Amino acid sequence: MAKKTVIALGFFDGIHLGHSKLLARTVTIARELGAEPAMLTFDSHPDELTAVEQIPLITSPEERADLVRELYGIENVIALRFDETLRRMHWTDFAEWLVRDFGAVYFIVGYDFGFGFKAEGTAKKLRNWCFMQEPKLVCDIVPAVKLDGITVSSTYIRQLLLDGEVARANRFLGHRHRLTDVVRFGFALGRTIGAPTINMLFPKGVIVPKCGVYATVIHIDGEAHNGVTNIGKRPTVSSSDDVTVETYILDFDQMVYGKLVTLEFAEFIREEMKFDSVEDLQTQIKLDAESVRQWFAANDAT
């Protein structure tokens, strides 16, 4: 028989402050019961199968799992492929499956949780179903979390990122928005103008924040470095519509191609601009670097 588990159920895109309540309680209850804490999530948004357009994710499934392990120590992340079979499964069949195959004895869900075919399963229905089982199961329903009078939600945070309000998004997330990727070979222009950059890409399906320049923190080999990151199409030197993520790491001059690094977005600095010359771009990079240094000095943050 599977080990007893306490499972937090949801999509958990972004792992924000609302999710934090569920995940922290999951760890607490699991410790009290001598069970294993677990989080169940999906590889794509459950609404996507019926949506006209793809719903962009705040975090990839891999990033989501890493955040949960780092922030809450939950190693058991159940990432399900959300396909047509799963979409059509009746909610009671889904709950029974979690009990039978994953050893679920306790569920933690949000107030607005819906699951099963046509989302007919609700938090209250699951709680009542748990009470009727023998032996009895438990379902805790966590109420909405509000900040500045606004209900914390992935939908709201997505819009903040699209608007470039990354600092506010970070407040609602409870941690800095981030991107983890292998450093890729880029255009090598930065090195020729005295501002070598590392190049990264957002995974397919993950939201790209507003184009522009950001103050960032880059984690490389366990060390944190401040940086200037440009998200955009490089209009000064390129006519391509491809969006790139280029970071000039302050006070750093090491080759990191091929390394897995994590980039944290701290603050939006300015809009993306097209310059008349590479020399003007070089001058602006120096100004951006100074702006970022001043921002981190004023916020005493790395």
- In the DSSP assignment, the letter for residue 119 is G
Residue 211 domain-assigned (yes or no): yes
What CATH number is associated with residue 11? 3.40.50.620
Write down which residue in 151, 167, 198 finishes a domain: 151
139 and 231 in a single domain? The answer is no
Residue 172 domain-assigned (yes or no): no
- 145 to each of 19, 139, 150, 151, how far by Cα in Å? 9, 18, 8, 6
Residue 157 domain-assigned (yes or no): no
137 and 202 in a single domain? The answer is no
User: Are 75 and 69 within 8 A, CB to CB?
Assistant: yes
Residue 165 domain-assigned (yes or no): no
- Which of these, 113, 105, 85, 92, lies nearest to 21 by C-alpha position? 113
Q: Is the pLDDT of residue 109 over 60?
A: yes
pLDDT of the residue at 83: 79
77 and 137 in a single domain? The answer is yes
pLDDT tens digits along 48-87 = 545 556 788 999 999 999 999 999 999 999 998 877 888 8
- On average, the pLDDT of the chain sits at 88
Write down which residue in 151, 186, 210 finishes a domain: 151
CB atoms within 10 A of CB 57: 24
CA–CA dist 299, 293 (Å, integer):
10
pLDDT of the residue at 301: 63
95 and 183 in a single domain? The answer is no
199 and 129 in a single domain? The answer is no
Residue 116 domain-assigned (yes or no): yes
Query: What total number of domains does the chain contain?
Result: 2
- Quote the domain boundaries for residue 187: 177-299
Residue 265 domain-assigned (yes or no): yes
76 and 187 in a single domain? The answer is no
Which value, in Å, is the radius of gyration of the alpha carbons in the chain?
22
Structure tokens at 158: 């997505």
Secondary structure of 184-233 as H, E, C letters: ECCCCHHHHCCCCEEEECCCCCECCCCCEEEEEEEEECCEEEEEEEEEEC
120 and 46 in a single domain? The answer is yes
pLDDT of the residue at 46: 61
pLDDT of the residue at 54: 75
pLDDT of the residue at 188: 47
143 and 204 in a single domain? The answer is no
Write down which residue in 87, 116, 151 finishes a domain: 151
Query: Which is higher by pLDDT, 182 or 55?
Result: 182
Q: Is the pLDDT of residue 159 over 50?
A: yes
Residue 121 domain-assigned (yes or no): yes
Q: Based on the number of CB atoms within 10 Å of its own CB, is 208 exposed (0-12), middle (13-18) or buried (19 or more)?
A: middle
Residue 234 domain-assigned (yes or no): yes
Length in residues, the chain: 302
10 and 143 in a single domain? The answer is yes
157 phi/psi in degrees, rounded to 5 = -65, -40
Query: Which is higher by pLDDT, 183 or 196?
Result: 183
Mean pLDDT in residue range 265-279: 87
User: Are 231 and 212 within 8 A, CB to CB?
Assistant: yes
pLDDT of the residue at 253: 81
218 and 285 in a single domain? The answer is yes
59 and 185 in a single domain? The answer is no
Q: What percent of the chain shows pLDDT beyond 90? A: 67
223 and 188 in a single domain? The answer is yes
- Chain-centre distance of CA 147, in angstroms? 19
Amino acid at 269: I
pLDDT of the residue at 235: 45
What CATH number is associated with residue 268? 2.40.30.30
Please report which confidence band the pLDDT of residue 47 belongs to, taking 50, 70 and 90 as the band edges. Answer: low
